[in-house]
Amino acid sequence: MQKARIYVANWKMNMHLDSGLQFANDCKALMNDNENTEKQGSPFSQNGAKKHIILCPTFPAIYPIAQLLQNVPISIGAQNCSEHEIGAYTGEVSAQSLSEIGCSYCIIGHSERRKYFHETNEVIARKVVKLFASTINPIICIGETAQDHKDNKTLEVLEHQLNPIIKAINEAEQFPETVIFAYEPVWAIGTGKTPNNETLHATFNWLAAHLTRNIKNIKVIYLLYGGSVDEHTALEMVKVQNIDGFLIGGASLDFQKFKNIVSLA
């Protein structure tokens, strides 16, 4: 199976409803143009490989954007969900509720959630299981801090973050056919700094081997890179073996920049 290349727009707590709808409308127009130009070779299918866009708005914008994009091959994701199924958890949103409003993906364990909301690897593992049960594909974020990076502990940290998540995936009663991991070095998020291709090559090779060896039930694993992705960095990083796409923060707030990344990289 040839993998699609994945582009996730993580809008974080940015984009109000009107700008989110405008962005989604622009994506829709791009998809329509793409259909018309498919035969001449289009930015959305290079050398037969499809490109898959996943927009991740704030919770209130999910439903209207999902409605707007009905019948358009663009997916909608959330940026978080509850580790609980249902009940008295004021302010939380369950995986089931997300599924009902048109979400098919959900970012989990983003470093901002880990840092500001104290999410642990165990909490993230429970969220993965809840998402699986609601047929939502998690986009599981992992990554080392600047200090870990300086201490040369990247792989050690990644392995530690992954342990409970892999265990939960292997023990899940329900699971999808594919699972997505996003490697986001914390020091690269929003800083303009990125690892060089040599470092990325080593990290992604390790990730691919580690996940394939240890995840028993899901055979297709996608690996994304996130952290200061723009049209220039993406064009370089796309050369790295085992990078299947990008998780894009800042550059996903501007349609033209996002379009350039999707078209070029």
By CB under 6 A, tell whether 227 contacts ligand PGA: yes
Write down the catalytic residue from 83, 112, 119, 184.
184
Sketch the per residue contact string, 169 through 198, with ligand PGA: x for CB under 6 A, - otherwise.
---------------x----xx--------
Look at the block and give the residue holding tokens 């001449």: 40
Q: How far apart are CA 136 and CA 131, in angstroms?
A: 5
Q: Which residue is nearest to ligand PGA (CB)?
A: 249
Q: How far apart are CA 24 and CA 13, in angstroms?
A: 16
By CB under 6 A, tell whether 9 contacts ligand PGA: no
By CB under 6 A, tell whether 228 contacts ligand PGA: yes
> 243 near 201, Cβ under 8 Å?
no
Which has the closest alpha carbon to 154: 127, 187, 176, 126? Answer: 187
> 201 near 237, Cβ under 8 Å?
no
By CB under 6 A, tell whether 247 contacts ligand PGA: yes
Write down the catalytic residue from 83, 110, 112, 119.
110
For ligand PGA (CB under 6 A), the number of binding residues is 13
Active site residue 110: yes
Dihedral in degrees, nearest 10, Cα atoms 114, 117, 118, 119: -60
Active site residue 171: no
Out of 229, 240, 262, 265, name the contact with ligand PGA by CB under 6 A. 229
Nearer to ligand PGA, 55 or 172 (CB): 55
Spell out the residues 6+ positions from residue 27 whose beta carbon is closer than 8 angstroms to its own. 53, 55, 69, 72, 74, 255
> What does DSSP assign to residue 42?
B
Nearer to ligand PGA, 39 or 118 (CB): 118
User: What is the Rg, in whole angstroms, of the alpha carbon atoms belonging to the chain?
Assistant: 18
Residue 85 CB, nearest approach to ligand PGA (Å): 27
Considering only residues 197 through 226, tell me which ones interact with ligand PGA, judged by CB under 6 A.
226
* Stretch of residues binding ligand PGA (CB under 6 A), selected from 125-133, 150-158, 166-174, 249-257: 249-257
Following DSSP, what letter does each residue of 84-135 receive, concatenated?
SSSSS-TT---HHHHHHTT--EEEES-HHHHHHS---HHHHHHHHHHHHHTT
Residue 107 CB, nearest approach to ligand PGA (Å): 8
Question: Could you list the active site residues?
Answer: 110, 184
Binding site for ligand PGA (CB under 6 A): 10, 184, 189-190, 226-229, 247-251
